[in-house]
Structure 1
Amino acid sequence: MRRTFLLTCLTTLALALSPSSWSAELHVMNSGGFTAAYKALAPGFEQSTGNTLTTAWGPSMGAAPEAIPNRLQRGEPADVVIMVGYALDELIKQGKVIADSRTGLADSRIGMVVRAGHPKPDISTPEALKQVLLNARSIAYSDSASGVYIERELFKKLGIEQQVRGKAKMVPKIPVAGVVASGEYELGFQQVSELLPVAGADFVGKIPESLQSVTLFAAGVPVGSQHPAEARQLIRFLASPQAAAEVSKSGLDPLPTQK
């Protein structure tokens, strides 16, 4: 009787102290630009905290069902959202993300790829980039922040909006580098961090700084998060100096100060 009671107590204590009894399963929604950095950093967070991450992927905006605002609208569970800063700000205005949880993670710049093995043209100056675009047979760009900028502003700044109208296309949902790797498009433009992981495409470089549209990626805790404390812990980890090396390796620019 006494032995049975002791075994029961020990079992109860073991269950109470086991990781599964205190760790949290965090639901994260992550947009493309921060994907590579997130995948590199996530295992370290899980190992050091005992928390686990369940991740849904989708763009920061747009009509696609996978887009983060649309996922939240449908009521999908989320403890952390990682997305373009101004899209996150809109969710804060709508009362869907806790305002004081907003934390800048990294800056993202636009780059260009060609099919693997093809010559890499010079795009180091605005005039060089202009000539490359005029000479290209086809141009692809994303349906997220970088692509919106290219379509609405970059071509106008270069004075070639009419000349490229018939050969420049926005590619929805899939990585732009993928359609360049397949040979469907000659040139591809997207945020650098989304170009680098794709096999079959060679990174040419970033577009000139005077023509850049720098996109801030930021994270926040949605209203209704089931684990707000652990969610903020994840965000602090992703924004920490210890994460900067992986952030930089992914093609993003770590922030010197919070934005």
Structure 2
Amino acid sequence: MRMSITGISSMATRNVLDALAAIFEAQSGQRVAIESVGGVAAFKRVEDGEAFDIIVLASEAIDRLAASGYVDATSRVRIARSGIAIAVKSGAPHPFIADEAAVREAVLAARSIGYSTGPSGVYLTRLFERWGVAERIAARIVQAPPGVAVGTLIARGEVELGFQQLSEMIGLEGIDVLGMLPSDIQTLTVFEGAIGVNAAAPQEARAFLEFLDSSDTDATKIKHGMQPVK
């Protein structure tokens, strides 16, 4: 029996990796088992020496793991990129979000604002600081715990206006995705895959990464709220 390819990823790529792993398994007969957790937790587990064949995280995190020798830097593959979307609870009023000024006003008007501990949350924190509203809205900020989607908090009524990677909001029940951050304040996070230095199945992992990098996967990436990136 073939050895399974093991992997760890952040929640942002969970759905697309699950879908692509299923396609790869059907085509190759090679089983893939990827665990998706909060990005900070995934990074720490790799840093603590836990063995994985592939690691899929934001490129900045892969940079740090490569610099510290936890992944094979020569194996890095850019898998996809994702922008930040905005959502409210299903049936709630839809604020105007067509431009930067409108988003700022929507944030100031919201009773609660949610974002994650991942790259999108870091970006939103800096954006609110640049707008000069960080202190003003501090008491209304709800940061989703690692591994918990902001959309889940929106659906529960714990967050009125939420921001997160589109890939983590698509398909969630109980929320209305209003759209993406306007282009002048949008940021795109690139997600990469790399082979762990203590991989048990490096050759199989490399084949899976090559598949993830192929144009055959583009439609699946788009379906799950991500954009192909070369």
TM-score normalized by the length of structure 2? 0.95
- Tell me which amino acid in the other structure corresponds to 2:112: S
The residue that corresponds to 1:31 in the other structure is: 10
2:204 paired with 1:230: yes
Which is greater in Rg?
1
The residue that corresponds to 1:249 in the other structure is: 223
Q: Which moved more, 1:135-144 or 1:35-44?
A: 35-44
Cα root mean square deviation, aligned: 1.2
The residue that corresponds to 2:149 in the other structure is: 175
The residue that corresponds to 2:34 in the other structure is: 55
The residue that corresponds to 2:160 in the other structure is: 186
Q: 1:155 aligns with which of 128, 152, 157?
A: 128
Q: Which moved more, 1:76-85 or 1:50-59?
A: 50-59
Q: Give the whole-Å Cα distance in 2 for the aligned partners of 1:37 and 1:239.
A: 13
- Tell me which amino acid in the other structure corresponds to 1:156: E
Q: Give the whole-Å Cα distance in 1 for the aligned partners of 2:203 and 2:180.
A: 37
1:29 to partner: Cα distance: 0.6
1:1-259 aligned within 5 A: 20=1, 23-61=2-40, 67-151=41-125, 153-173=126-146, 174-255=148-229, 257=230
Q: Give the whole-Å Cα distance in 2 for the aligned partners of 1:134 and 1:74.
A: 40
- Is the Cα–Cα contact under 8 Å of residues 36 and 197 in structure 1 kept in the other structure? no
1:170 to partner: Cα distance: 1.5
The residue that corresponds to 1:5 in the other structure is: none
1:145 to partner: Cα distance: 0.9
Structure 1, unpaired ranges of 5+ = 1-19, 62-66
Q: Give the whole-Å Cα distance in 1 for the aligned partners of 2:21 and 2:93.
A: 36
Q: Give the whole-Å Cα distance in 1 for the aligned partners of 2:33 and 2:19.
A: 15
1:196 to partner: Cα distance: 1.2
1:84 to partner: Cα distance: 0.6
Q: Give the whole-Å Cα distance in 2 for the aligned partners of 1:100 and 1:47.
A: 27
- Tell me which amino acid in the other structure corresponds to 1:162: E
1:68 to partner: Cα distance: 1.5
Secondary structure in structure 2 of the residue aligned to 1:78? coil
- Tell me which amino acid in the other structure corresponds to 1:26: I
- Tell me which amino acid in the other structure corresponds to 2:33: T
- Is the Cα–Cα contact under 8 Å of residues 108 and 192 in structure 1 kept in the other structure? yes
Secondary structure in structure 1 of the residue aligned to 2:96? coil
1:194-243 Cα offsets, whole Å, 9 max, x none, are: 11132111111111111122111000001011111110111111121010
Q: Give the whole-Å Cα distance in 2 for the aligned partners of 1:158 and 1:74.
A: 37
TM-score normalized by the length of structure 1? 0.85
- Is the Cα–Cα contact under 8 Å of residues 126 and 158 in structure 1 kept in the other structure? no
Q: Give the whole-Å Cα distance in 2 for the aligned partners of 1:157 and 1:122.
A: 20
